[in-house]
Chain A
Amino acid sequence: MSALVVQDLGVAYGSVQAVRGIDISVERGGLVALLGPNGAGKSSTLRALMGWARGASGRVAFDGEDILGWPPERIVRRGMTMVPEGRRVFADLTVDENLVVATVGRRDRATIAADRDQVFALFPVLYERRGQKAGSLSGGEQQQLALARALLSAARLLLLDEPSLGLAPKVVDTIFERIVDLKRRGLTLLLVEQNVDRALDIADHAYVLANGAIVMSGPAAELRRSAGLAQAYLGLERESAA
């Protein structure tokens, strides 16, 4: 059964139509990649799913419930959250405090401590840095904190917006390993990436977005094998840059 079903989603910024009626579905426990060149509308899509964008239209069902129009905090409390583009950790707060904030919406206070231990086990570097201001962490550490934060909010479905953006290749490896860990732990993931190969390596299924519309989709393995992808993708990139 699908955890997330998006039908005919549109996002408009005033008269600019950034996303034009796309359909996406994510199976429970699956990892779906949403690919596409810069400005394709990937972030706009995720923001609309999270209730961050005004001007969204269509239908978004999360676990069968229509959530379009809900305020973000309500969606989060239902079990879906987003790691936004650019990480956006709370720079003035310590690592520990960032993690505390993530648990504010949770009702199951009793299990928080155990979850926190698990998160630290998954991201040992955060444990080392737990008293440090988040703003003083390296980019990779901040990205791990952003993932940890989302995890601690007890979400079952994570939307990740370009988690590898601006990170050194070695750090990117770590981040992708962690994403695979998350999938193994049973989380459902919708991953937005520009790093196409890496994303297709770990995804089950992928959509390619260009100019606000889905231009290709299918099982990740097939897409990777399809000779057309790189070409199509590059072509699109050229097209959208023109």
Chain B
Amino acid sequence: MTIELLLQQVLNALSLGGTYALLALGLAIVFSMMGLINFAHGEIMSGAGYGLWFVILVGLPFGLGIVAAVVTGLAIAVAMEKIAFRPVRSASPAALLLTSFAVSGIMQVLFQNLISPKGRPVAVPDVLTGSWTLGTLHVGTIQALSIIVTLALLAGLTVFFRRTRMGIAMRAAASDFDVARLMGIRANAVIAAAFGVSGVLAGAAATFWVAQRGSVDPLMGFLPVLKAFIAVIVGGLGRLEGAVAGGFLLGFIEIGLRAFLPDDLVAYREALTLALVILILVLRPRGLMGRARESVR
């Protein structure tokens, strides 16, 4: 394996891991406030993909499509919180989980019946389907952009979480929701904001995902969000930095196995990925950055 190939695979891992990180961060933000693993997160992503698809379908430029994806992700996430989760917020974690399964199933059927069970093609402009050449490295434009935008988003979020009152309040609510309310933080506002941020991140992830696969279908969000869920667990449930680290780690594990496993073992790489994840959890039962939680609501 030459150094170029190695670098290439590192970029591959950064790009894939970055997408997982965006999704995992969204899951973790919501979990940290509500104790809810939102299984309908994948449908936020699919919905955002349909937003992109629709804008292109009516003939508007791709750039507007990206905006539409992010705005759709935001809108679906906030609406989901208000309509589905707010009424059952104080219910048991199991009830919340079941609600999210129901929301997920309903949205899949809606996409299927209102749009199509079949993937809807999304034409990606030629400027995005090409590649950048850095010396002997070829980096797909979408791949490069996904790395850059992911890092920019994570940097932006870091600033938001460290420097703004709302961001700091959200971190406080993430670490102890009940006490955050004692500081005057409005539960409704901060949870809506958490869903909003998770929706924006899902919208950004959806853009790369759709641009890379060229279509959007009702089940599109399921698999990446499943991976993101694994990333959240690996990173430490409810730990925002942990989710990001878990996402990147999963990206590196997956790409590493696919790149370096001998041919006859490649078929087992999903199992090997999970085995590695379990190993991490055996060594660190609370995940990479996990620690005991005091309260969950």
Establish whether residues B181 and A92, one from each chain, have CB atoms under 8 Å apart when the complex forms.
Answer: no
A84 touching B165, Cβ below 8 Å = no
Q: Contacts A73-B187, A92-B175, A93-B175 known; A101 to B181 CB distance under 8 Å?
A: no
A76 to B185, CA, bound (A): 9
Q: Select from chain A the residue with minimum beta-carbon distance to B189.
A: A73
Q: Chain A residue with minimal CB distance to B90? A: A54
Q: A71-B187, A73-B187, A88-B294 are in contact. Are A50 and B172 (CB under 8 A)?
A: no
Query: Chain B contacts of A71 at CB under 8 A?
Result: 181, 187
Among candidates A52, A76, A90, A92, residue contacting B184 with C-beta atoms closer than 8 Å: A76
Which one of A54, A91, A104 lies within 8 Å of B183 (CB-CB)?
A: A104
B175-198: which residues lie under 8 A (CB-CB) from chain A? 175-176, 178-187
Contacts of B154-178 to chain A: CB distance below 8 A: 165-166, 168-169, 171-172, 175-176, 178
Q: Verify if A23 is at the interface (C-beta below 8 Å from B).
A: no
Q: In the complex, which of the residues A52, A54, A88, A92 contacts B171, with contact meaning CB atoms closer than 8 Å?
A: A92
Contact A91 B181 (CB under 8 A): no
**Are B182 and A76 interface neighbours, CB within 8 A?**
yes
Residues on A with beta carbons closer than 8 Å to the beta carbon of B181: 71-73, 76
Smallest beta-carbon distance A80→chain B, Å: 10
Residues of chain A lying within 8 A (CB to CB) of residue B166: 104
A72-B181, A88-B294 as given contacts; A101 in contact with B168, CB under 8 Å = yes
Point out the residues of chain B lying under 8 angstroms from A153, CB to CB: 182-184
Main secondary structure of the interface of B (DSSP, over half): helix
Expressed in whole angstroms, the Cα–Cα distance for A60 and B180 within the complex equals: 22
Given A88-B176, A88-B294, A90-B176, is A105 in contact with B171 using a C-beta cutoff of 8 Å? no
Which chain A residue shows the least CB distance to B166?
Answer: A104
**Which of the residues B90, B175, B186 comes within 8 Å of A90, measured between beta carbons?**
B175
CA distance A106 to B165 in the complex (A): 12
CA distance A82 to B182 in the complex (A): 7
Return chain B residues, CB-CB under 8 Å to A205: none
- Decide: B171 and A93 in contact? CB cutoff 8 A: yes
A106 engages B184 (CB within 8 Å): yes
Chain B residues within 8 Å of chain A by Cβ, number: 20
- State whether A73 touches B171 (Cβ < 8 A): no
> In the complex the two chains form, is B185's CB within 8 Å of A105's CB?
yes
Question: Is there contact, CB below 8 Å, between B183 and A149?
Answer: yes
In the assembled complex, the Cα of A88 lies from the Cα of B177 at a distance in Å of 11
Is B185 touching A93 in the complex (CB atoms < 8 A)? no
Contacts of A72 in B (CB 8 A): 178, 181-182
Write out the residue numbers on chain A whose beta carbons fall within 8 Å of the beta carbon of B185.
Answer: 73, 101, 104-105
Docked complex: B80-119 residues within 8 A CB-CB of A = 90
Q: Bound complex: CA of A190 vs CA of B221, how far in Å?
A: 52
Chain A nearest Cβ from B179, distance in angstroms:
5
Q: Which residues of A in the span 46-71 have a Cβ within 8 Å of any Cβ on B?
A: 50, 52, 54, 71
**Is the C-beta of A100 less than 8 angstroms from some C-beta in chain B?**
yes
Sample 20 A-B pairs with CB under 8 A, ordered by A number.
Answer: A50-B182, A52-B178, A71-B187, A72-B181, A73-B187, A76-B183, A76-B184, A81-B182, A92-B175, A93-B172, A97-B168, A98-B172, A100-B165, A101-B169, A105-B184, A105-B186, A106-B184, A149-B183, A150-B182, A153-B182
Q: Give the 3 A-B residue pairs with the shortest CB-CB distance, closest first.
A: A105-B184, A76-B184, A72-B181
